[in-house]
Structure 1
Amino acid sequence: MESIASALLSLAYQLFQPGFWPGDWAWATSMAGALIGLFPVGTAVGVALMRKFTGNRYHGGALAALGVLGVVGMLLIPWFLTTGVSSVFRAAFAGQSTGLSVAEVAAMQQDYGLGPQTEYLGGKRNVYETLFYPSDNVLTYGFYLVTLVGLPVLILLAIMLLGRIALRRGPKWPGRLLWVPFVVFVIVSAGVEVNVAVHVWLGFLPVAILGVIPVSLVGPPSWSTIENSDRRPEPKAAEQPQQPVHLNPREQESPPPAPPPPAKQYAPTSVAPAPEPTVAASEPPAELAAAPGPVPVVPGSAPTGSSRFRRVKRLGHGGFGTVWQAIDTQLGRTVAMKIAHAPDRDTEERMQREARALAALSHPNCVRVYDLVEEPDGLALVMEYLEGQPLAEVVDNGGPLDDVAAGRLWATMASALAAAHSKGVLHRDIKPSNIIIDPMGVAHLIDFGIARSRGDSKLTATGMMVGTPDYVAPEAAAGAPASPASDAWQLAATVSYALTGQPPRGTRETPMAALMAAARAEAPTHLPRQSVHARLLAASLDQQPRNRPTLNVVYREVEGWLSRAGTSTDGPVTKLVPRQQ
């Protein structure tokens, strides 16, 4: 190791040897410290590169590799080189072989005001003796105390910063595998000659600080890599007993009857088929069985004309239909009906696609679909009626949400959209007016009126703008096909609105101006700077879809923060007082 240290010291002497106080070899020692500092920086770069492929998979081989990198790059190599450099100077002071050239050894005898450099760098006490057995000179002891303790502390902070940058988009605890070995390196270097240690730390510090640049340039792992690393392994099929391949003749002749499939269970607010009417205990079931037909009409709710649904009031008017509050006169329940403006073939296909999209979902935060019926004035989608207020009204009337409420909103809506995407369904119009907050403060995603399944692009009307300009993703505004990343952008824009009361790109005078701003991918200017969600919002609103975290990653990030804050995603977004009818 001394031969390697001699080569390192000779290289440092050739690179940097100014002939002024405290001496050319003293400055060469600082240069050697800078070269030694490249190893911890390279270790951090290696960790960042490794995470490009492993993400947050900190177990097994990945964890072992991280530990080896930390021990070798932060402890062993710096320690061997530092002690080797100190040994070279001690050998030169003692007149022993150093591995340096004769001219280099002769240059160490020059005096720059502190005596011969061989004595200055190789004839003093070591770090341990200097700190724990101080001399009578208070100024000298204070100088060594500041340099031998203060410089390593500053370098330690730089090493911890390198670890945090290398471990971006993941837990920070693996950073201990980087800075703890460095602390051990500082401790075990107590036997190094004191002036050698001072000059090594002086050269080490700027390299550790500037090392932030290459580690930052490597960049964090992609969100897809993180999602794959966080995904739990699926249970093996071998856990269930397999049927024998060969059956005996008796079993082949009379196989046992298969058990009836269990009834499908649905969550209380999931998208389930409309329940069949049950027979009350006091009513004779035989009469209903003998007279099949529609359920008797509830008194006082007779339909208008031949329609089964009696409309009460109009709730909204959108690009593809008008939504009414109505009464199902056969089942006696309040429903929401969305009726197409023009009952042509394309509109019917859109309505049928919306019905299929909603029927395929089973999530407590998605509106339920009941039926698709023919009304006198067009095709009507019959949905669950949600009592409450749109998120836009909640924010306009009550002000922006706090971080906890916004976190619950983001997590529940991300979970609902992820469930839709797993069925191959895109929403494409997430905005504050399409999220209903019920009287219990729970958020529900509504209006899949322009939702489509993958492969349904031919049903998009020519020349029709899809989505709301203030909340449309840049790629969608530019004409690119919608994707799950587009829905993720719109949801993040909606959460940003909930935290600030304004769309992320601000408001424009006309919808066309807002659409042009979206197509130009203008950077968001109205993000919540003080929110704990600011970093994740900025990533989710990236103009490049591939750089955005997936909805599953968003859910885990927000759920983790809520858990650390002592709450969960199950709480209300905000408390509402039911409106008077």
Structure 2
Amino acid sequence: MDSFASSLLVLAYELFAPGFCPGDWVWATSTAGALIALFPVLGAVTVAIIRKGTGNRYNAVTISVFAGIAVLFVLLLPLLLMNGISGIYRAAFSGDPTGLGGNGDSLKTELCGFVGVQSEYLGGGQNVYEVLFYPSNDALAYGYYLGALVGLPLLALLFIALQARSAFRRGPSWPGRFFWGSFVALFFLSVPVEANTAVHLWLGFLPITVLGIIPVALIGPPSWSAIKRSEQQPERPPERPQPPPYVPPEPEPAPPPQPPKQYPPTSVAPAALAAAPGPVPLPPGAGQSGSSRYRRVRRLGHGGFGTVWEAVDNQLGRTVALKIAHAPDRDTEERMQREARALAALNHPNCVRVYDLVEEPDGLALVMEYLQGQPLATVVDSAGALDDIAAGRLWATMAGALSAAHDKGVLHRDVKPSNIILDPAGLAHLIDFGIARSKGDSTMTATGMMIGTPDYVAPETAAGAAASPASDAWQLAATVSYALSGTPPRGTRETPMAALMAAARAEPPSRLPRRSVHARLLIASLDPEPRNRPTLKSVQHEIEGWLSRSGTSADGPVTRIVPRIR
């Protein structure tokens, strides 16, 4: 490694070593510091290139590779080179300049008064530890060393951390600790280096760390498709149950002899009893639990598959939302039952809860949580568009709610501003899973029936393809775009059919909020190709990271709603 350090120092001398103050070898030392700073940049670029293929796949192998790259390029190589260069100057001060090639004799020259002889300046003084912890009486000199030996490394640490953050974009930021943690270790382990040598090494090191952010940024983050592939869990083949070991049956003991059975004489049934057994008839209305239990207060909404009422549970004394099917036939009942099972499996604070499925006099009814508040569409129409903070909270919470639904195999299929309720505390809730379908339930929708709202329907769904988590992600992004701009991303059309045709043609969004910080992520999430869109979990992670960097969190209110006086 000493030969490597001497070769690097000689190369630095050949690259830039002007013969003026403070001296050719002093300038060569700063140039060597710049060359050493290329190693952390190379490490960050390597990580960024690797993540192009691995995305956010963090397992034992990738974590070990990233940690090894950080330790090698940020700690080991710079530390060995710094100590090696300091050792070369110490040897030259002792009279052995062999490691410096034919130009080592110029170390004995003196070009500046405050530097003196270069060999003594670079190799004959105190090391970093002695200068910092055993200062001289000269306060000005101590301030100079303190600023150079502590201030310069702190600035370099900032830009090393920025390089790591750029290398780990669109993913968890914690692996960046490998880089800045290795640099902190480099700072503490380099205290044996000669103080003046360390000053000039850090002077050359800092500018390269600043410029090193550029190549890492040019590599760019991994594509959304790579991130999506990395987040997909590999499917495990089902385990075949092992048959139990064969145990020969024990012979059954012979039953004891039974006495002959005595039969009573046959009697004639009274005329009042039925000729054939059957269930006891119920009183009128006893089989319709809804007619006696739920008292309707007012109608809340009317949609394609049902009417929603505000009702009171007479047994529990609570207010509920009662959704009743328009046509209580077999197909509708199957839909409602599947909807109830799907929603009952969800347990998320931002999803409406399902309590029961009951028979009402006019059809099958779904009993749901009653949410006080206003739809997002009403809030935006009356109070104006949301700012970036509020829209970020909306996007993060709704992405988490939809991810929880997708994990249970449930697709919403109709995410839009009117299906998001903002409660009196300003928190968002996703409602109206009335057209939700479990994955695999391909026969639940009648032939020719359009699923979703045209202004917020994904292109592939409008063209007739099956709904997917990516289509829910598109609709949520369209809803967030509306919350930021006050209009759907494709604008409005005169008729629903015109809006549906625009969606089927995958017309590009023309009414996006360009000045929003979320514009880039909106463009990616509204991509016409489902495979190119970021996953909801990726969107949630990126938005929550931006909110954290902005000094807030996703848990706050989207906006505050004034409770309605009734």
Could you say if the C-alpha distance between residues 66 and 462 of structure 1 is closer, same or farther in structure 2, counting changes exceeding 3 Å? same
1:22 aligns with: 22
Residue 338 (structure 2) pairs with residue 336 (structure 1): no
Matches within 5 A, 1:155-174: 155-169=156-170, 172-174=173-175
2:415 aligns with: 430
Q: What is the rounded CA distance, in whole Å, between the counterparts of 1:252 and 1:134 in structure 2?
A: 98
Could you say if the C-alpha distance between residues 179 and 447 of structure 1 is closer, same or farther in structure 2, counting changes exceeding 3 Å? closer
TM-score (norm 2): 0.67
Matches within 5 A, 1:528-543: 541=525, 543=527
* 1:443 partner letter: H
Displacement of 1:155 after TM fit?
0.7
Could you say if the C-alpha distance between residues 121 and 474 of structure 1 is closer, same or farther in structure 2, counting changes exceeding 3 Å? farther
Residue 245 of structure 2 aligns to a residue whose secondary structure is coil
* 1:525 partner letter: P
* 2:508 partner letter: R
Q: What is the rounded CA distance, in whole Å, between the counterparts of 2:200 and 2:190 in structure 1?
A: 13
Q: What is the rounded CA distance, in whole Å, between the counterparts of 1:82 and 1:210 in structure 2?
A: 21
Matches within 5 A, 1:241-256: 244-250=244-250
Equivalent in 219, 222, 230 of residue 221 of structure 2: 219
Deviates further, 133-142 or 405-414: 405-414
* 1:223/1:547 contact within 8 Å kept: no
Could you say if the C-alpha distance between residues 249 and 11 of structure 1 is closer, same or farther in structure 2, counting changes exceeding 3 Å? same
* 2:289/2:358 contact within 8 Å kept: no
* 1:366/1:416 contact within 8 Å kept: no
Residue 101 of structure 1 aligns to a residue whose secondary structure is helix
Displacement of 1:84 after TM fit?
0.9
Residue 442 (structure 2) pairs with residue 443 (structure 1): no
Residue 250 of structure 2 aligns to a residue whose secondary structure is helix
Q: What is the rounded CA distance, in whole Å, between the counterparts of 1:83 and 1:519 in structure 2?
A: 62
> What are the Cα deviations for residues 206-249 of structure 1, in whole angstroms up to 9, with x where unaligned?
221222233332525854366458x9x99x989xx977322232
Displacement of 1:316 after TM fit?
4.8
Could you say if the C-alpha distance between residues 39 and 444 of structure 1 is closer, same or farther in structure 2, counting changes exceeding 3 Å? closer
Q: What is the rounded CA distance, in whole Å, between the counterparts of 1:321 and 1:427 in structure 2?
A: 14
Matches within 5 A, 1:106-505: 106-109=105-108, 111-113=110-112, 114-134=115-135, 139-169=140-170, 172-216=173-217, 217-219=219-221, 222-224=226-228, 227=231, 244-250=244-250, 289-291=279-281, 295=285, 316=301, 320=304, 323=307, 335-339=322-326, 355=336, 358-361=339-342, 362=344, 363=346, 365=351, 370=357, 383-384=366-367, 387-388=370-371, 391-392=375-376, 395-396=379-380, 413-414=398-399, 417-418=402-403, 420-422=405-407, 426-436=411-421, 443-446=429-432, 448-449=434-435, 456=442, 467-469=453-455, 471-473=456-458, 482-494=467-479, 502-503=486-487, 505=489
TM-score (norm 1): 0.66
Could you say if the C-alpha distance between residues 156 and 412 of structure 1 is closer, same or farther in structure 2, counting changes exceeding 3 Å? closer
* 2:394/2:480 contact within 8 Å kept: yes
Could you say if the C-alpha distance between residues 87 and 57 of structure 1 is closer, same or farther in structure 2, counting changes exceeding 3 Å? same
Q: What is the rounded CA distance, in whole Å, between the counterparts of 1:442 and 1:146 in structure 2?
A: 50
Could you say if the C-alpha distance between residues 228 and 482 of structure 1 is closer, same or farther in structure 2, counting changes exceeding 3 Å? closer
Residue 486 of structure 2 aligns to a residue whose secondary structure is coil
Residue 290 of structure 1 aligns to a residue whose secondary structure is coil
* 1:101 partner letter: G
Could you say if the C-alpha distance between residues 68 and 115 of structure 1 is closer, same or farther in structure 2, counting changes exceeding 3 Å? same
* 2:212 partner letter: G
Residue 246 of structure 2 aligns to a residue whose secondary structure is coil
Q: What is the rounded CA distance, in whole Å, between the counterparts of 1:108 and 1:322 in structure 2?
A: 91
* 1:467 partner letter: T
Q: What is the rounded CA distance, in whole Å, between the counterparts of 1:88 and 1:485 in structure 2?
A: 61
> What are the Cα deviations for residues 339-377 of structure 1, in whole angstroms up to 9, with x where unaligned?
48xx9xxxx9996885575255133635769599999xx
Q: What is the rounded CA distance, in whole Å, between the counterparts of 1:504 and 1:295 in structure 2?
A: 47
Unaligned runs of 5+ in 1: 254-286, 303-309
Residue 494 (structure 2) pairs with residue 520 (structure 1): no
> What are the Cα deviations for residues 2-49 of structure 1, in whole angstroms up to 9, with x where unaligned?
111111112222333344433333332222112211222233344555
* 1:432 partner letter: P
Q: What is the rounded CA distance, in whole Å, between the counterparts of 2:465 and 2:204 in structure 1?
A: 52
Could you say if the C-alpha distance between residues 466 and 41 of structure 1 is closer, same or farther in structure 2, counting changes exceeding 3 Å? same
Residue 336 of structure 1 aligns to a residue whose secondary structure is strand
* 1:446 partner letter: D
1:13 aligns with: 13
* 2:128/2:192 contact within 8 Å kept: yes
Unaligned runs of 5+ in 2: 254-276
Q: What is the rounded CA distance, in whole Å, between the counterparts of 1:406 and 1:438 in structure 2?
A: 16
> What are the Cα deviations for residues 137-161 of structure 1, in whole angstroms up to 9, with x where unaligned?
6554443332222111111111222
Displacement of 1:81 after TM fit?
0.3
* 1:324/1:336 contact within 8 Å kept: yes
Could you say if the C-alpha distance between residues 505 and 86 of structure 1 is closer, same or farther in structure 2, counting changes exceeding 3 Å? same
Displacement of 1:487 after TM fit?
0.5
Q: What is the rounded CA distance, in whole Å, between the counterparts of 1:439 and 1:243 in structure 2?
A: 58
Could you say if the C-alpha distance between residues 69 and 387 of structure 1 is closer, same or farther in structure 2, counting changes exceeding 3 Å? closer
Could you say if the C-alpha distance between residues 49 and 6 of structure 1 is closer, same or farther in structure 2, counting changes exceeding 3 Å? same
Q: What is the rounded CA distance, in whole Å, between the counterparts of 1:353 and 1:101 in structure 2?
A: 88
* 2:490/2:508 contact within 8 Å kept: no
Displacement of 1:490 after TM fit?
2.1
Q: What is the rounded CA distance, in whole Å, between the counterparts of 1:188 and 1:442 in structure 2?
A: 51
1:82 aligns with: 82
* 2:44/2:167 contact within 8 Å kept: yes
Residue 289 of structure 1 aligns to a residue whose secondary structure is coil
> What are the Cα deviations for residues 232-290 of structure 1, in whole angstroms up to 9, with x where unaligned?
x99x989xx9773222323999xxxxxxxxxxxxxxxxxxxxxxxxxxxxxxxxx9932
* 2:302/2:308 contact within 8 Å kept: no
Residue 86 (structure 2) pairs with residue 105 (structure 1): no
Residue 178 of structure 1 aligns to a residue whose secondary structure is helix
Q: What is the rounded CA distance, in whole Å, between the counterparts of 1:562 and 1:482 in structure 2?
A: 30
* 1:324/1:338 contact within 8 Å kept: no
Could you say if the C-alpha distance between residues 541 and 152 of structure 1 is closer, same or farther in structure 2, counting changes exceeding 3 Å? same
* 1:425/1:454 contact within 8 Å kept: no
> What are the Cα deviations for residues 468-500 of structure 1, in whole angstroms up to 9, with x where unaligned?
42x3446667887643122123224435656x5
CA RMSD of aligned residues (A): 5.8
Could you say if the C-alpha distance between residues 509 and 372 of structure 1 is closer, same or farther in structure 2, counting changes exceeding 3 Å? same
* 1:358 partner letter: E
1:266 aligns with: none
Could you say if the C-alpha distance between residues 214 and 315 of structure 1 is closer, same or farther in structure 2, counting changes exceeding 3 Å? same
Q: What is the rounded CA distance, in whole Å, between the counterparts of 2:480 and 2:387 in structure 1?
A: 11
* 2:379 partner letter: V
Residue 4 (structure 2) pairs with residue 4 (structure 1): yes
* 2:33/2:202 contact within 8 Å kept: yes
* 1:491 partner letter: L
* 2:289/2:359 contact within 8 Å kept: no
Could you say if the C-alpha distance between residues 250 and 298 of structure 1 is closer, same or farther in structure 2, counting changes exceeding 3 Å? closer
* 2:221 partner letter: G
